[in-house]
Amino acid sequence: MSLKSKILLLTLLPMLLFSLSITLFSRDQSNQLSQIEIQTIEESLLRSRERELRHYTEIARALLLPLAKDSTPDSLSQQRAIYLLNSLSYGDDGYFFAYAESDSKKLLTAPVNSDNNQQIDQINPKAADIISRLMQLAKTGGGYHRYLWEKPSSLEIEDKLSYVELFEPWGWTFGTGLYLDDVSRELTKIRSVVKKNIRNTFFTMLAMSLAAMMVVFLLGLAVNLHEHHLADKKLQRLAYKSIQFQITERRRFARELHDGINQTMVSIRYQLEKIQSEANQKQKNEIEKPLERLTSVIRDVRKISHDLRPIVLDDLGLAPAVKNLVEEFSERTGAHTELSIELAGKKLYEELEITIYRVVQEALGNISNHADASHVKMSLIIQDDMATLKLRDNGCGFTLEKKQNGIGLRNMKERVELLGGQFSLQSSPNAGTLIIATLPLSLKDNIS
């Protein structure tokens, strides 16, 4: 792992842990606040039910008091009171109940569709304890009691809240109650909504944290790519300056060899030839071998000078130099060649001319040494500020995976890409080879 990657990781990891901690803390706080809020809502709903029950009980008491004060015998007044309480139902399951102190197990009143003569043990097995608690509350001034009781409309055991008072004239414990299943449903709905909101908030914060880290990562990546791009530009400028320096030095060395050492050796050869022409046979034989060696050295020096810097480029230009390479290749190999050069009257900068020349030289050398081709077609076209070189042969071809990393091919590719161009190679066994090199004409100005 690179140093930059480690620094980026050290930056993102604390941010990830911090964001996760904040998100989890926020979720826990939201859960606690939601529980408090739900509890507050539940208490508010219960207080509302309590006020409602007390109000109903006050109404019932106001209706019973005239009956208790009437001169009618108590048994008749109590029957009328029981009838009145049974008729005071409200809603689907709202009813009044009353228990006499003398017989707490008997329900004096009854809910809708029930028998008021049934014993409380038949209504609820735990009813005795519940009624006992209700009667104690009534004797101490009245109060609220929450318990489980059968709901008349569904015959299911439901949570119920009742308010009871003591009706002193007859010693009755009477009151009314409300079933809290609607409150439970409301609270369940609220809990579901709150839970959903907390979950959505959690995932939203998590997504925002991940998005923030992604932004940091992308910014780091962009900075890294930008730095690499700048480094590539600097490397390209440095390589370009190196090429310029090499070209200058090669030109100087080539000129020194061609105009200096080579000319001196040519002059020496002429002098030896003149001496040989005037010497006797024995002397001629003695001079012949050194003269041949000198001629060979002159050829070698010319070749080295040409390899360092193609003099023909300076003397004639790119098009004649390339044509000369193609003609020499055709004479050397016997292959038929087709050459098309369209420079559109443009003078290419020096580095581009040398690159094109060397690519053609290397490609023709590869064809000569490896392709066994009988036909070679080459074109060099200038169009839309781009120079496009194409070279195709009908040789034996090769598998790209095995040969594309060869020194000659790699040199061609590096030369082209160094000037901002693109190099492509197409080949397959027994199908020949196609080389395409595309180079911009304006790269020199951009690099400078």
Give the residue, 48 or 411, on which the prediction is more confident. 48
Task: Assign 239 a pLDDT band (cuts: 50, 70, 90).
Answer: low
Residue 302 within a domain: no
Residue 188 within a domain: no
**pLDDT at 115 (0 to 100):** 43
**pLDDT at 251 (0 to 100):** 65
Mean pLDDT over each residue of the chain, to the nearest integer? 80
Residue 388 within a domain: yes
End residue of a domain, out of 158, 179, 200: 179
Residue 379 within a domain: yes
Q: What is the mean pLDDT of residues 107-134?
A: 63
End residue of a domain, out of 179, 199, 219: 179
Residue 93 within a domain: yes
Per-residue model confidence as pLDDT tens digits over 170-183: 889 999 999 988 88
Give the residue, 342 or 308, on which the prediction is more confident. 342
Q: What is the pTM of this model?
A: 0.46
Work out whether strand 433-440 and strand 422-427 pair parallel, antiparallel, or are unpaired: antiparallel
Share of the chain above pLDDT 70, in %: 83
How many residues would you count in the chain?
Answer: 448
User: What domain range includes position 22?
Assistant: 3-179
Residue 260 within a domain: no
End residue of a domain, out of 126, 157, 179: 179
Residue 295 within a domain: no
Report the number of distinct structural domains present in the chain: 2
* Per-residue pLDDT at 357 exceeds 80: yes
Q: What is the mean pLDDT of residues 154-161?
A: 88
- CATH number, position 434: 3.30.565.10
Q: What is the mean pLDDT of residues 202-230?
A: 78
Residue 67 within a domain: yes
Task: Assign 114 a pLDDT band (cuts: 50, 70, 90).
Answer: very low
Per-residue model confidence as pLDDT tens digits over 243-258: 667 666 766 776 676 6
Q: Are residues 174 and 318 in the same domain?
A: no
* Per-residue pLDDT at 418 exceeds 60: yes
- CATH number, position 86: 3.30.450.20
Give the residue, 285 or 68, on which the prediction is more confident. 68
Q: Which of 115-119, 259-263, 284-288 has the lowest mean pLDDT?
A: 115-119
